Amino acid sequence: MYRYHIRQRRNRMGETGKGHQMDREELHQNAGKQGTAKLLKGAAVLGAAAVLSKLLGTLQKIPLQNVAGDAAFGIYNAVYPLYILILFAATAGFPVAVSKFVAESVIHGDHREAKRIARISGTVLLGSGIVLFVLLYLGAGEIARWIGIQQTEKAIRSVSFALLLAPTLAVLRGYFQGYQNMLPTAVSQVMEQLIRVITMVALLLYLAALAYDEEWIAAGATFGSVTGAAAGLVVMYVYWRKAMRSLNGSEEREGGSSPEAKALSTRQWVRRIAAYAIPVCLGAIVVPLLTLVDTFTMPRLLEASQGSELEAMRQFGLYNRGLPLVQLVVMVASSMSAVLVPAMADAKARGLTDVMRSRAEMSIRLSWLIGLGASFGLAFAAVPINIMLYKNSEASLTMAVLAFTALFSTLNAVSASVLQGAGAIHTPAQALLVAIVLKALGNVVLMPRWGIEGAALSAVIAYAAAAGLNLVQLRRCTGARFALRPYVIAPTLGVVAMGVCLAALQLLAMPAVAAWHLPERLSASAIALVGVAGGAAVYGLALLRSGSISREELRLMPELDRKLAPVLARIWPAGRSAGR
């Protein structure tokens, strides 16, 4: 399979040995079209996996809040970002670095060197995972005191075991992403989340039935990360063994590694991978680190204003109600991030500047359109969604404000990946530092005045700042341009149409609910589900009708284009083409 891809890559470059040579313009066009189609296909695979895995993750948190209450929910949400931060700090840059260097080896047909890169990275990360596990397990009590909530100690110890498994899982994902094979990552993500949910729900029901307190229930919930990581690792190991069997006996180089890579020792490879991975790690931890700012500031500020540790954790749980939905949007829209780094590195290595620019523009535009629609949609439907998921409408305004972090978090994640692929690996880390400072200051200044709504507003400001800094540097690095019409005018019309649709639905549903005497949660669920589906459809059709998404771009995804053909025939009559 891998040899076939190499031959195909060479055929596209005119290396078939038949004397046929493409001119440079044709090479750019073919590389751009085929590379974009492959990028979209990989993003679609990871996007589908992200939707499913994040839906499972959301289902995991809902029973925790419903069964154990907002206090246990608050403890869980205080500890889990800490684990994610440590995990990302230890591993996040390595899948990106591994995918980049593996992709470069694959260009030369050197599969043996690609395996060597994965094994070196895996050894380094396994050692760091063991060290971090020991520090987190033994230091759980001290960390709980730093947070200001001693009830988090057991949950910290519980989640620390995942650090023994997750690093190897991250390296294997990066290896396959270097081949632009996203299926193993997608399958392992879904399996990891599925086992995690099963573990958490089982322990939740068991501990609740035995009347354990919130501290033990939260610890049981965090232990799902351990079993989930084990399941994901098993899946990736199966794919790895299958790939190794397919390469046995056929590892002879079809081309040859670059002289620079060929001469590198193991120690030099460690330094090279680490030099690339560490700045990427700093850029990748923006979401968990900003969330961790909340962990170390919000409970103390809330306790000072509420006068009770238990009420502070309840308020913190209310604040976190909207985060699973925001994270779902970010994961779906930024699923292309894992595809972008090797794709951009490939275009840069070939000197295809036009391809780099077009991929950057397409990625940013898609993330903007998805994030914008999702943010306004969640804000418009915050009340029914809140009741549907969490039984009451408490903190709906906070959820509506937090919804807009979906837009800026998505832009930040995707623009960071584009910059990393283009070689500008320090900008995301610099933007991160600015965002952290703004979030901490925002909490301190705004929370005494507006409580958890102030914390939500400070999050929007911080994410917007990080995304803005990345986009400025992206324009300098790739020459990407962002025109007013596809980014502002047309999407605004779509948002207005979606808002009118959702407002009308909620207003018209009120008399029906009153007349039929339906339970509040059932009626809110119906309104939320119909509203989300209808609002998304209205927004999507508005984007298609306005040309924000062209028919030519849809043709890069034949399956989607074929399913939408009857609708598109009405939007674009015969002889008319949409485009910018």
Interval 92-104: pLDDT, tens? 667 777 887 887 7
- Per-residue burial over 161-190, b if 16 or more Cβ lie within 10 Å, else e, is bbbbbbbbbbbbbbbbbbbbbbebbbbbbb
Mean model confidence pLDDT for the chain? 77
- Two tokens, residue 543: 């984007």
pLDDT tens digits for 272-289?
887 877 776 765 666 667
Give dist(CA 416, CA 426) in Å, integer.
9
pLDDT attached to residue 566: 64
pLDDT attached to residue 23: 45
Residue located via tokens 């289902």: 59
Residue located via tokens 């995301």: 428
pLDDT tens digits for 326-375?
877 777 666 655 555 566 666 666 767 777 777 777 778 888 888 899 99
- Asked if 416 contacts 284 with a C-beta cutoff of 8 angstroms, the reply is yes
Q: Which helix (H) or strand (E) holds 557?
A: none
**Nearest of 442, 446, 454 to residue 401 by alpha carbon:** 454
Give dist(CA 432, CA 507) in Å, integer.
41
Coil, strand, or helix at residue 375?
helix
What is the residue type of 58? T
- Asked if 276 contacts 37 with a C-beta cutoff of 8 angstroms, the reply is no
DSSP string, 402-449: HTTHHHHHHHHHHHHHHHHHHT--SHHHHHHHHHHHHHHHHHHHHHHH
Give dist(CA 374, CA 368) in Å, integer.
10
Task: Give the mean model confidence (pLDDT) for residues 267-271.
Answer: 82
- Two tokens, residue 575: 């002889």
pLDDT attached to residue 335: 60
Q: What is the DSSP letter of 19?
A: S
pLDDT attached to residue 134: 92
Q: What is the DSSP letter of 180?
A: T
- Asked if 100 contacts 342 with a C-beta cutoff of 8 angstroms, the reply is yes
pLDDT attached to residue 3: 44
pLDDT attached to residue 572: 54
Give dist(CA 196, CA 467) in Å, integer.
31
How many C-beta neighbours within 10 Å does residue 140 have?
A: 20
pLDDT tens digits for 498-536?
989 888 888 888 777 767 777 888 888 888 888 888 888
Q: How far is CA 444 from CA 47, 299, 302, 389, 437, in A?
A: 36, 12, 11, 30, 11
Measure the CA angle with vertex 191, ends 185 and 194; round to 5°.
Answer: 140
Give dist(CA 550, CA 528) in Å, integer.
29
Coil, strand, or helix at residue 108?
coil
What is the residue type of 368? W
Label residue 446 by pLDDT band (50, 70, 90): very high
The span from the first CA to the last CA of the chain, in angstroms, equals 38
- Asked if 403 contacts 379 with a C-beta cutoff of 8 angstroms, the reply is yes
- Two tokens, residue 492: 């605004």
Tally of residues, the chain: 580
* Whether residue 254 has pLDDT greater than 50: no
Q: At what angle do helices 323-333 and 24-63 cross, to 10 degrees?
A: 160
Task: Give the mean model confidence (pLDDT) for residues 248-274.
Answer: 62
pLDDT tens digits for 295-333?
888 888 888 887 777 788 888 889 988 887 887 777 766
**Nearest of 174, 209, 198 to residue 284 by alpha carbon:** 174
pLDDT attached to residue 230: 93
DSSP string, 114-170: HHHHHHHHHHHHHHHHHHHHHHHHHTHHHHHHHHT-GGGHHHHHHHHGGGGTHHHHH
Label residue 85 by pLDDT band (50, 70, 90): confident
Number of H helices, E strands in the chain: 28, 0
Task: Give the mean model confidence (pLDDT) for residues 468-478.
Answer: 87
pLDDT attached to residue 16: 42
* Whether residue 38 has pLDDT greater than 60: no
The full set of domain ranges for the chain reads 2-14+24-482, 493-571
pLDDT tens digits for 11-31?
444 444 444 444 444 444 444
pLDDT attached to residue 504: 87
Label residue 227 by pLDDT band (50, 70, 90): very high
**Nearest of 432, 409, 421 to residue 285 by alpha carbon:** 432
**Nearest of 60, 91, 523 to residue 327 by alpha carbon:** 60
Q: Which helix (H) or strand (E) holds 95?
A: helix 93-107
Task: Give the mean model confidence (pLDDT) for residues 383-392.
Answer: 89
How many C-beta neighbours within 10 Å does residue 142 have?
A: 10
Task: Give the mean model confidence (pLDDT) for residues 252-279.
Answer: 66
Label residue 464 by pLDDT band (50, 70, 90): very high
Q: How far is CA 469 from CA 24, 159, 412, 428, 476, in A?
A: 34, 34, 9, 8, 11
